[in-house]
Amino acid sequence: MALSGGLAANGKAALLAIQMWADDVNAKGGLLGRKVQLVNYDDQSNPANVPGLYTKLIDVDKVDLIVSPYGTNLIAPAMPVAMQKGRTMMSLFGVGVNEQFNYDRYFQIMPVGVHSGEAIPEGFFAAAKALNPKPQSVALVGADAEFGKITVDAARKMAKAMGLKIVYDRAYPPSTVDFTPVARAIQATKPDLIFIAAYPPDSVGIIRSLNEIGANAMLIGGGSAGPQFASIKTQLGPLLNNLLGYELYVPSPKLKFPGVEDFLKRYQAKAVGQGIDPLGFYVPPFIYAAMDILGQAVEKTGSLDQAALAKTLHAETFSSVVGNVRFAKNGEWEKPRVLMVQYRNVDGSGVDQFRDPGRYTILFPPEFKSGEAVVPYRKE
């Protein structure tokens, strides 16, 4: 798990959720009558460290179960080791990792569904379809890196299927720090929609630059990684108002899954002073659910046999703090559940306001919808 380096904040939050699960299951007697012991090492957010650490965990530490590191780039190098050793692996927030391996003992807890690259833009374009008058044009912008490419490729297909005119479609270098030229080029095309697929620092830069030049559109955002985290929410503050963003959980009455509020209350109390997300909406409940599901599968299987464990994970529907989860053949959620929300009523940069359901209007998917989109982004 990343406890240092660029992914440390998420890695530490994930590890806290795992430790909470271990404490909870041990308080009930453990798994198969044995107490759970966690063995973990810091991968330093460096993919090159991952294969050696998993080899050590399996061959030297003799662990019974493995879970992945946090994040796509760290999960992929763990896969060859897991496959060589025949291990079932619960994966923590990887997008499309198993597309290249097709491993039948791989399971992934981020709810992106079988076609993982489509899950984020789907909600943005579903919201666009509901607008009246109908949008006619779209600008697509993303980083020239894996996440940006995958997400913009899917967005482009959806835009064409809607009959939208694509007036801007460019990738920027990941090293970009000044997004004003990008924002000006987008605004020059006067798009009705602006779809952004960027990682956190870029998301902040693009959103700030669009605001600084007075750019406007019916809908802006969609695929920005960053606003899911408390640190980015507080950085952007009121600039979030009317922005569209993807989330996995928000404090909405429609998302009161059994146990999730209790988990978040306990997590938030433990997160104080640890330099990790104080809200914990994005990563922690899903990591806790991943461990809970793995534990349920062990009990249902009645053994630690890896093939039997994978069979159970494929066959069953599991209840968790993030709702019911059933895995598809490729180990992703059988039904995706990425939320598209519009941020509302953000006032200042205080973090506590983001605990309020009134800051989020869920536009997609339909079963969790809590309101209609407000347009345009900048209300004059």
pLDDT by residue, tens only, the chain of 380 residues: 999 988 888 899 999 999 999 999 999 999 999 999 999 999 999 999 999 999 999 999 999 999 999 988 899 999 999 999 999 999 998 888 898 899 999 999 999 999 888 999 999 999 999 999 999 999 999 999 878 898 999 999 999 999 999 999 999 998 999 999 999 999 999 999 999 999 888 999 999 999 999 999 999 999 998 899 999 999 999 999 999 999 999 999 999 999 999 999 999 999 998 889 999 999 999 999 999 999 999 999 999 999 999 999 999 999 999 999 999 999 999 999 999 999 999 999 999 999 999 999 999 999 999 999 999 998 75
Q: Which of 164, 177, 94, 175 is nearest to 128 (CA)?
A: 164
Cα–chain center distance at 7: 13
Cα–chain center distance at 45: 17
Question: If phi over 0 gives left and psi between -120 and 50 gives alpha, with beta otherwise, what is residue 5?
Answer: left
Q: Report yes or no: 198 and 142 within 8 Å, Cβ to Cβ.
A: yes
Residues in the chain: 380
pLDDT at 380: 54
Q: Which of 248, 262, 212, 209 is nearest to 20 (CA)?
A: 262
Pairing of strands 325-326, 317-318: antiparallel
List of residues 6+ apart from 318 with CB closer than 8 A: 292, 293, 296, 297, 324, 325, 326
Helix axes 180-188, 200-212, angle to 10 degrees: 60
pLDDT at 147: 84
CA distance 126 to 153: 16
In order of their start, the domains of the chain are 8-115+257-326 (3.40.50.2300), 117-253+338-368 (3.40.50.2300)
The alpha-helical segments, DSSP class H, found in 85-212 are 119-129, 146-161, 180-188, 200-212
Q: Report yes or no: 92 and 111 within 8 Å, Cβ to Cβ.
A: no
Helix axes 8-27, 260-271, angle to 10 degrees: 120
Cis previous bond, 69, omega within 30: no
Output the six-digit token pair for 155.
């967005």
Q: Report yes or no: 77 and 50 within 8 Å, Cβ to Cβ.
A: yes
List of residues 6+ apart from 271 with CB closer than 8 A: 13, 16, 277, 278, 280
Q: Report yes or no: 70 and 7 within 8 Å, Cβ to Cβ.
A: yes
Prediction pTM value? 0.92
User: Residue 20, CB half-sphere, CA atoms under 13 Å: how many?
Assistant: 25
CA distance 184 to 175: 18
List of residues 6+ apart from 28 with CB closer than 8 A: none
CA distance 333 to 309: 17
